[in-house]
Amino acid sequence: MSYEPVVAIAGVTGAVGAEFIATMDRRAFPVRKLKALASARSAGKTIDFRGERIVIEELTEKSFEGVDIALFSAGSGTSRKFSPAAVKAGAVVIDNSSAFRMDPNVPLVIPEINAGRIREHKGIIAVPNCSAITALVPLWPIHKANRIKRVILSTYQAASGGGAAVMQELVESTRAHLEGRAFQPKAIPHPYAFNLFSHNTAVDPETGYNDEETKVIKETRKIFEDERIAIGVTCVRVPVLRAHSEAITFECERPITEHDVRAILANAPGVKIVDDRAKNYFPMPIDASGQDDVLVGRIRRDLSDASGHSISMFVSADQLLKGAALNAIQIAELAQRERPWFRGRLRPKLTSCRHRTLPYDNAIHPIHSRWQQ
Ligand SMILES: NC(=O)c1ccc[n+]([C@@H]2O[C@H](COP(=O)([O-])OP(=O)(O)OC[C@H]3O[C@@H](n4cnc5c(N)ncnc54)[C@H](OP(=O)(O)O)[C@@H]3O)[C@@H](O)[C@H]2O)c1
């Protein structure tokens, strides 16, 4: 008999929540029952899932009885408050927020990079920051082939990264601007139409880095298991509705050419090369929207490094998908295949399952071993 988990979505009415539903459908993720959870504001409203009308319930500590998988995308405070109750009820939490990402007891997983870490979970598995995922999916196979010692990264982040209200604000403020009406920003602190601004997370007064930038730096080191990698990040919100883009320059330990990078990325999981110099056609958020891969192009030598160790490129990815919902569903698919011990209360000790393999294992390093130079 096939196993079909009971799935709860905390934050089902949000931008990521909608993509959880669509992604589960698209990938035919097995679901015995779906619990749709959001704030008290949404309780009693309905969503449609596989021909069924499901009534949204208010998220409480009692929401998780009988739940196998709890997908959280309702902000870090909500994750912190309600995840322990979900874990206690026997669910595995897959959390899109930043609440647990840097907790040493919580695996921080991009399946194309470190799927094996899923087995180590103690009830919670974290999905990395969307800007980090967008950069790391293509950087990882390069790092494996020729260690990256330094990265400089600038983001061009879409409104969708801020959730449904920010997307709506971009649309409404653009319309107001075109009609010559005044518009008072509500969801974000700055005028958004025909403007861009430094990422709207808190800025550390000492370092000058905002939270988004700090997340990318710390999470990269945790996922790559490389504390030495030097990273400089500038995160900027641009008036694009959906899908983040990034200009990335990286320096490797050994010389590397643009041809090396193309050859490595040609077979990399989750990557699609879009790099047509003749047509001046490169990754764009409009092409990345609604599809799963990180688009990579403008692959070229960094002329500021005469040693030939550095490459620049430009990437775009749908951060509601690969940066959030898709990455979470990929984790759920992998963890689910490891049943029957997937449910919290049935989970065995880690040592009893280290020899087992997960899909993507051929793309990852063995558990507990460092990347080999
Ligand atoms: N957007 C992205 O690209 C992205 C990428 C990676 C990670 N994330 C993370 O995913 C989470 C959600 O992002 P989003 O973009 O989907 O935001 P969003 O569109 O603003 O949606 C927020 C969701 O959280 C729910 N919620 C808020 N407070 C709640 C509470 N106290 N109890 C229960 N539910 C509550 C909302 O329910 P109501 O409708 O009832 O208010 C809504 O369903 C955030 O933690 C974000 O950092 C987002």
Q: Given pLDDT bands bounded at 50, 70 and 90, which one contains residue 337?
A: confident
Q: Which protein residue has the closest C-alpha to ligand 1 atom 10?
A: 73
Using the atom order of ligand 1, give the atom closest to the CA of residue 16: 16
Nearest atom in ligand 1 to the alpha carbon of residue 158 is 3
| 373: pLDDT strictly greater than 50 | no
| Burial profile 178-216: b = 16 or more Cβ within 10 angstroms, e = fewer | eeeeebeeebbeebbbeeeeebbbeeeeeeebbbbbbbb
Note the pLDDT tens digit of each residue in 172-201: 999 999 999 999 999 999 999 999 999 999
The reported pLDDT for the residue numbered 343 is 56
Of the options 3.30.360.10, 3.40.50.970, 2.30.31.70, 1.10.540.10, the CATH number for the domain spanning 131-318: 3.30.360.10
CA 84 → CA 70, 98, 117, 211, distances in Å? Answer: 11, 15, 20, 25
Give me the residue spans of the domains in the chain. Answer: 6-129+323-371, 131-318
Chain center to CA of 52: 28
Query: What confidence score (pLDDT) does residue 342 get?
Result: 55
Q: How much is the pLDDT for 340?
A: 52
Give the Å distance between the CA of 163 and the centre of ligand 1: 7
pLDDT of residue 3: 79
Pairing of strands 244-252, 148-156: antiparallel
Residue among 130, 143, 235, 252 flagged as catalytic: 130
User: Average pLDDT of 89-100?
Assistant: 98
Determine whether the shortest distance from the Cβ of 40 to ligand 1 is under 6 A: no
Q: Do domains 6-129+323-371 and 131-318 have the same CATH topology?
A: no
Of 3.40.50.280, 3.40.50.2300, 3.30.230.10, 3.40.50.720, the CATH number of 6-129+323-371 is 3.40.50.720
Atom of ligand 1 nearest to the CA of 244: 3
Running DSSP on this structure, what letter comes out for residue 291?
-
Average pLDDT, the chain: 92
The mean per-residue pLDDT over the stretch 123-133 comes to 98
Q: 130 catalytic, yes or no?
A: yes
**Which residues 6+ apart lie within 8 Å of 347 measured at CB?**
121, 123, 341
> Tokens 């700055």 correspond to what residue?
190
Q: Does residue 14 have its Cβ closer than 6 Å to ligand 1?
A: yes
- The answer to whether the CB of 59 is under 6 A from ligand 1 is yes
Q: What mean pLDDT is predicted for residues 57-80?
A: 98
- Residues 72, 38: Cα–Cα separation, whole Å: 10
> How many of the other CB atoms lie within 10 Å of CB of 301?
16
pLDDT tens-place string over residues 210-225: 999 999 999 999 999 9
